[in-house]
Amino acid sequence: MNVLIVYAHHEPSSFTAAMKNVAVQTLEADGHNVVVSDLYGQGFSAVAQKWDFVTTSGNHFNYMTEQKHATNLQMAYSPDILGEIQKLQAADTLLIMSPIWWFSVPAILKGWFDRVLAMGVAWDTGKFYENGLMRGKQAMLCLAGGHPTEYYTVNGRHQASVNQMLHPINHGTLAFCGFNVHEPFTALNVLSANNESREKALKDMEFRVKNIPHSPQWLTLYA
């Protein structure tokens, strides 16, 4: 596999960083090609702006239609976006490593979705879900959450399961673009977990990543 890991955490000693390191080591040991986009390390901008494009259409500025315009002009994107698009196009597997913040992901990762999963690149008019431009690729969220597992249930403190929380990303973003989407891997209660619990979570992470090619757990699979 050619794997792109999009990593969104600013602390190298974080549990999210440990998950990323385990994924890289496991995949490379199995002979897969791995590229990591360290969004904080790269200083990736979360903000969609006019200067994301080499030139604009000159019409009323609409970020989505300007993406299509840039795609049609031989990928006339700013270097940071173009670099990420090229990584994405070269990959057949996308792993997203992030903490859970506010029932979602950090702004820097949302900015990656906004700026890189561009119109004409990841989706287009009439080309989404089973016809999305990312069809044939697979994606999986690998997230760390601070609260106890029992919080993440319909009857728990958060009044939502992890899959319900992540539906806008798994379905409204990844599946929308045509990715086959795996059940997310989530390590919960990481803020108060002891070393034994953390090691078990990392072993579970290793198992999931190692078995992506062999026994995938699909959330969305396009035939």
Decide if pLDDT at 150 tops 90. Answer: no
**Whole-angstrom distance, CA of residue 102 vs CA of residue 49:** 24
Domain of residue 203 covers 2-220
**Confidence grade of residue 149 (pLDDT, cut at 50, 70, 90):** confident
- What's the length of the chain? 223
DSSP class of residue 119? B
Section 19-25 average pLDDT? 97
87-123: per-residue pLDDT in tens? 999 999 999 999 999 989 999 999 999 999 999 999 9
Give the residue with greater pLDDT, 91 vs 214: 91
Active site positions, annotated: 146, 152, 158
Please name the residue ranges forming H helices in 32-150.
Answer: 39-42, 63-72, 79-90, 107-116
Mean pLDDT, all residues of the chain: 94
Specify the pLDDT at position 63: 96
**Whole-angstrom distance, CA of residue 55 vs CA of residue 77:** 8
CATH number at residue 187: 3.40.50.360
Decide if pLDDT at 69 tops 90. Answer: yes
Section 4-20 average pLDDT? 96
Number of domains in the chain: 1
Section 205-218 average pLDDT? 92
pTM exceeds 0.85 for this model: yes
Specify the pLDDT at position 201: 92
Directed axis angle between helix 107-116 and helix 79-90, to 10°? 80
User: How many other C-beta atoms lie within 10 A of the C-beta of residue 190?
Assistant: 21
